[in-house]
Amino acid sequence: QTHYIQNHDEQQFEVQFNGAVGDADRLGWTAGLFYFDSESRAYNTTEFEAFNYTGGLLNFVANDGYTTENKSAFVHVTYDFTERLRVSGGARYTDETKTNTFDHGPALNRSDVPLVFGDSRTDWKVSVDFQLNDSMFLYAQAATGFTSESATPRIFTVGQLMALKGEELLSEEIGAKLEFLDNRLRVNAAIFTSDYDPRIRQTGRVNQCAAPTQSNPIPYRLQGGTCPPGTFFAGSTGLPWFYYDNSPGTLDGYEVELTATPVERLMINFSLGQNEYENTNNEPGPTNFTYIAPGYLFQPEFNSSLGIQYDFQFGNGGVLSPRIDAFYQSERHTGPANARPPAHEITANTCPTQCIQDYTVFNARLTYQPPNRDWRLALWGTNITDEFYWQQYSPEITVNATTGAITSTAPFGRTGVASPPREWALTIEKDF
């Protein structure tokens, strides 16, 4: 068991200035400064008696510290060329510094030399929108963004404590918001692309073959094999390593939302989204950690929802509203995404052994509101068909370290997070 204590202190300040100038205040602007500072401590003991008995893992006391300082400045400007045409743009400068003080005494201790990392950068956004008429609104926008540098969250040697490069993103989107049939049908649609340079991901089955005291070890992708001759752990599996790598990639997709009221008191809503990620690094090889097999689904390709609601009006003004919703999510893969030696090819992930299968969930709700609308009574249920699905599920595979072949095994030892069962609730709300 582990006795765990966390401490966290932070302070944050922001000041904004807003204004408008020109004829009819056509030019609007916002500028400001932002500051954030935090200090954290994670303290825990370990009591692995079984490991102590075998000598495979000694108990330790963790006393890790972390700091973050972020200083930013930003400006945003909007200009109305006409009553229907508007452009806007902005920029933000960010300077961030982080530290990680690692102390897993007595064996692993870097408290005397904290890991210092962080970055400074400038991001921007531009957009243009056009109100074509009272029922058609069009827009286009582009922006950059980033995730800041970080550190490997779980390490086993001092050499594995290293900064991880942050993600950089360029996103572009065009869309429309439309109304038809006297506003009885509303349609929101968008097409987007996101260019990552790079995108960060964890690579599994990586080990350290150098000595535990090595300050800059080389990661070995053993795939369950053994360390090569000449290394400190030659002939053994070495030390585990939660290794992170990066490579460019592109995420493309679209989203559509519809809301319809074909007759009075009947409302229908529908949404559909699709996305596809393609990794730029597409050359498999024994040292190419960032290769991702074409067609691998890190996230579901499709998601959709449909809802129907009708308001029954009583003579006294009360309203009874039955509603039903359906949510759909397509499959996503959980098996290997990388090429395997020696052929450096990968067998396609198959369901159900290397994926979370697609599923549909139905929810229902019956709500009553009195004439004065000051209270509400609702009977509702989630997953009313008691559909079983996995929210998270490990793959059912074995990888041959010599041939790279992927074979299915018995599901012993698979772990996952199961779906919530059918649930019912009765809620009462009162406005005062």
Bigger pLDDT: 206 or 427? 427
- Band the pLDDT of 402: cuts 50, 70, 90: low
> What's the pLDDT score for residue 52?
59
Report the C-alpha gap between 124 and 330 in whole angstroms: 34
Let me know if 393 is exposed, middle or buried by CB neighbors in 10 A (0-12, 13-18, 19+): buried
Report the C-alpha gap between 327 and 406 in whole angstroms: 33
Which one, of 304, 308, 293, lies nearest residue 327 by Cα?
304
**To the nearest whole percent, how much of the chain has pLDDT over 70?**
87
pLDDT at 399 over 80: no
pLDDT at 107 over 90: no
Q: What residues contact 422, with CB distance under 8 A and at least 6 apart?
A: 381, 382, 383, 384, 385, 386
> What's the pLDDT score for residue 17?
97
Instruction: Tell me if 36 sits within 8 A of 68, measured CB to CB.
Output: yes
- Band the pLDDT of 222: cuts 50, 70, 90: confident
Q: What residues contact 361, with CB distance under 8 A and at least 6 apart?
A: 326, 327, 382, 383, 385, 387, 389, 419
pLDDT at 57 over 80: no
Mean pLDDT of 370-377: 94
Mean pLDDT of 327-344: 73
> What's the pLDDT score for residue 341?
46
- Band the pLDDT of 343: cuts 50, 70, 90: very low
Mean pLDDT of 383-393: 94
> What's the pLDDT score for residue 344?
45
pLDDT mean across residues, the chain: 87
Mean pLDDT of 261-288: 86
Instruction: Tell me if 157 sits within 8 A of 104, measured CB to CB.
Output: no
> What's the pLDDT score for residue 7?
97
Mean pLDDT of 119-123: 94
**pLDDT tens-digit map of 223-242:** 667 899 999 999 888 888 88
**pLDDT tens-digit map of 185-198:** 999 999 999 999 98
> What's the pLDDT score for residue 18?
96
> What's the pLDDT score for residue 273?
98
Per the structure block, which two tokens stand in for 8?
């966290």
> What's the pLDDT score for residue 90?
98
pLDDT at 53 over 70: no
pLDDT at 175 over 90: yes
pLDDT at 342 over 50: no
CA 203 to chain centre: 17
Report the C-alpha gap between 289 and 359 in whole angstroms: 32
Locus of tokens 């370990």: 46
Mean pLDDT of 355-376: 95
Q: What residues contact 129, with CB distance under 8 A and at least 6 apart?
A: 85, 86, 137, 138, 139, 140
* Predicted TM-score of the model (pTM): 0.81
Report the C-alpha gap between 389 and 1 in whole angstroms: 31
Report the C-alpha gap between 36 and 77 in whole angstroms: 24
What value does the CA radius of gyration of the chain take, rounded to a whole number of Å? 28
Instruction: Tell me if 416 sits within 8 A of 394, measured CB to CB.
Output: yes
**Which of 58-67, 157-166, 167-176, 295-304 is modeled with the greatest confidence?**
167-176
Least confident of 48-62, 328-342, 361-375: 48-62
pLDDT at 288 over 70: no
Other beta carbons within 10 Å of 21:
9
